[in-house]
Amino acid sequence: MNVNPYLFMPELFTFLIIALLFVQAVGSVTMREKVGVWLPIMSGIGVVVALLSVGQEGLVFKGAYRVDPLSQFFKVAIAIGYFITVLNASRQPTLEREKRSDYFLFLAMSTWGLMMLASCVELISMYLALELSSYSLYAVIALRSKSKMAAEAAVKYIMFGAVATALALYGFSYILAGMHTTYLAELVQKTWTFEAAPMAVTGMALFLAGMFYKLALFPFHFWCPDVYEGTSNETAAFVATLPKLGAVVILIRLATMFKPGYDITTLLAVLGALSMTFGNLAALVQKDVKRILGYSSVAHAGYIMIGLVAGTAEGLAAASFYALAYVAMNLTCFWVVSRVSVDGRNLQLDDLNGLHKRAPALAFALAVGAFALVGLPPMAGFMGKLFLFSASWNHGYNWLIIIAGINTAISIYYYLGMVRHAYTKDEDAEVLMPDASTFSCVGAVFLSILVLGLGLMPSNIFDFALQVGTIMP
């Protein structure tokens, strides 16, 4: 078998990073501390590599691994996300110095798993990639120095993850029994109604549960706010964004079999509606910024469902675009959280008071990120929502769009709360001095520009995402 290595350059490059980190992790303590020097540069090169490999297409490993616009789009997004999270975590205050290289090693492993997940078109390889991306996170979440909460969060994540994995595997056996194949290309040609294939539909529902766990979609979201709260800010930034991309890409691959009107599609729509409503209502009463972001990500998982149930290429493209926008705006918010919390504590809303005086660039970035999450123009979130709505209107799930519209109104309050604290409240005496160094301000401004740019000039990226929507698995 001739395999062209150019097909999976991003994965290979990530593997190179893993190898280097491994060498460093088994080295002496002084050697381990130097990880912050070269890793940001390497992960930056990783983004370039991912961009260069856009346009590659091929089917390798006996048809289980597919390189196409969809996978490359998401690999770029994952590479960018990894780059930003590495920068974000490079000065983590709650991480012992000797554990640094291990920490980044696990993050890189998880990223590697997600990149492979973007290309898998066969259920078993999908499952393996998914597990690879989860295992590393089980270890990383607990890494917050001497914090009981972090240990609790890690246990929660593992327990939930184990149950979700078991469910997925169990459902997977049903699919295999019902459809006699694990290749998506063959699976999508079958009929997925409950009457025609009850066993396979049940199996698919269970298999999806594993994905929903990654995406933190209702009712598999219970771990989400607790884990974000328990783990360190920088780890939460990773867990909140990149695994979601992996889940979205799988759902997009599967989405060709969710035709509007099927039971399984309706199930997705109902879960989406419950997710946004529950996530937004629960976020209203939170005081901890990370818990707010946790519940908000539950709500946004629901929004992404709008694009998946439409059954159109535009819908899938809109879901991809929204996933990318979501990563950008969420990383912006987490960047601010990590920079303000200089001692690694969990931020309460009151800790943001008067931020605009202490660090105007961070306050501006927070405003951009929060308003983007609301869906206010001209930020990325607005365009994402507009595309989702436009792609899905009159495709059988209009009630879902109306619920999403009403949910936007609900969500204003708590997103605005963050901005309100940063801009209109006066700080207390013993307030945290945020990190207002050049590094933190430049990062904040860069991320704000990214979010605004996606909102003002979405045309090219959406056209690229549209290629994603027009391919079969």
ω into residue 219 within 30 of 0, thus cis? yes
| The one segment of 154-162, 183-191, 340-348, 417-425 that binds other proteins by CB under 8 A | 417-425
Burial 297-334 (b: 16+ CB within 10 A, else e): bbbbbbbbbbbbbbbbbbbbbbbbbbbbbbbbbbbbbb
Q: Convert residues 360-379 into a mask of x (bound to other proteins by CB under 8 A) and - (unbound).
A: -------x---x--xxxxx-
Q: Which of 103, 112, 364, 387 binds other proteins (CB under 8 A)?
A: 387
Q: Which of 51, 128, 416, 452 binds other proteins (CB under 8 A)?
A: 416
Q: Which of 16, 60, 149, 412 binds other proteins (CB under 8 A)?
A: 412
Q: Convert residues 307-326 into a mask of x (bound to other proteins by CB under 8 A) and - (unbound).
A: -------x------------
Give yes or no for residue 170 binding other proteins (CB under 8 A).
no
* Length of the chain counted residue by residue: 473
**Residues sharing a CB contact under 8 Å with residue 307, sequence separation 6 or more, in sequence order:** 315, 316, 317, 318, 319, 320, 322, 387, 388, 391, 392
ω into residue 378 within 30 of 0, thus cis? yes
Give the Cα-Cα-Cα angle 212, 82, 78 (nearest 5 degrees). 55
In angstroms, the CA 131 to CA 117 distance is 10
Give yes or no for residue 160 binding other proteins (CB under 8 A).
no
Give yes or no for residue 382 binding other proteins (CB under 8 A).
yes
- If the CB atoms of residues 56 and 408 are measured against other proteins, the closer one turns out to be 408
Least distance (Å) from other proteins to the CB of residue 432?
A: 22
**SS3 label, residue 53:** coil
Alpha carbon 294 to its chain's center: 12
Give yes or no for residue 60 binding other proteins (CB under 8 A).
no
What single string gives the DSSP state of each residue in 260-329? TTSHHHHHHHHHHHHHHHHHHHHHHT--BHHHHHHHHHHHHHHHHHHHHHS-SHHHHHHHHHHHHHHHHH
Least distance (Å) from other proteins to the CB of residue 417?
A: 9
Q: Convert residues 265-304 into a mask of x (bound to other proteins by CB under 8 A) and - (unbound).
A: ----------------------------------------
In angstroms, the CA 113 to CA 239 distance is 13
Burial 272-283 (b: 16+ CB within 10 A, else e): bbbbbbbbbebb
- If the CB atoms of residues 210 and 381 are measured against other proteins, the closer one turns out to be 381
| Size of the residue set binding other proteins (CB under 8 A) | 38
Sort strands 65-67 and 58-60 into parallel, antiparallel or unpaired: antiparallel
Give yes or no for residue 423 binding other proteins (CB under 8 A).
yes
- If the CB atoms of residues 38 and 413 are measured against other proteins, the closer one turns out to be 413
Q: Which amino acid is at 468?
A: V
| The one segment of 80-88, 115-123, 169-177, 386-394 that binds other proteins by CB under 8 A | 386-394
In angstroms, the CA 433 to CA 440 distance is 13
* Contact (Cβ atoms closer than 8 angstroms) between residue 330 and residue 293: yes
| The one segment of 145-153, 226-234, 393-401, 432-440 that binds other proteins by CB under 8 A | 393-401
Burial class (CB within 10 angstroms; exposed 0-12, middle 13-18, buried 19+) of 270: middle
Give yes or no for residue 420 binding other proteins (CB under 8 A).
yes
104: left (phi over 0), alpha (psi -120 to 50) or beta: alpha
Q: Which amino acid is at 198?
A: P
Give yes or no for residue 399 binding other proteins (CB under 8 A).
yes
Q: Which of 4, 145, 189, 398 binds other proteins (CB under 8 A)?
A: 398
Q: Which of 54, 406, 442, 472 binds other proteins (CB under 8 A)?
A: 406
Give yes or no for residue 70 binding other proteins (CB under 8 A).
no
- If the CB atoms of residues 245 and 361 are measured against other proteins, the closer one turns out to be 361
In angstroms, the CA 292 to CA 225 distance is 8
Give yes or no for residue 358 binding other proteins (CB under 8 A).
no
- If the CB atoms of residues 326 and 387 are measured against other proteins, the closer one turns out to be 387
- If the CB atoms of residues 2 and 394 are measured against other proteins, the closer one turns out to be 394
Interacting residue ranges for other proteins, rule: CB under 8 A: 314, 367, 371, 374-378, 382-383, 385-387, 389-390, 393-394, 396, 398-399, 401-402, 405-406, 408-409, 412-413, 416, 420, 423-425, 458-459, 462-463, 466
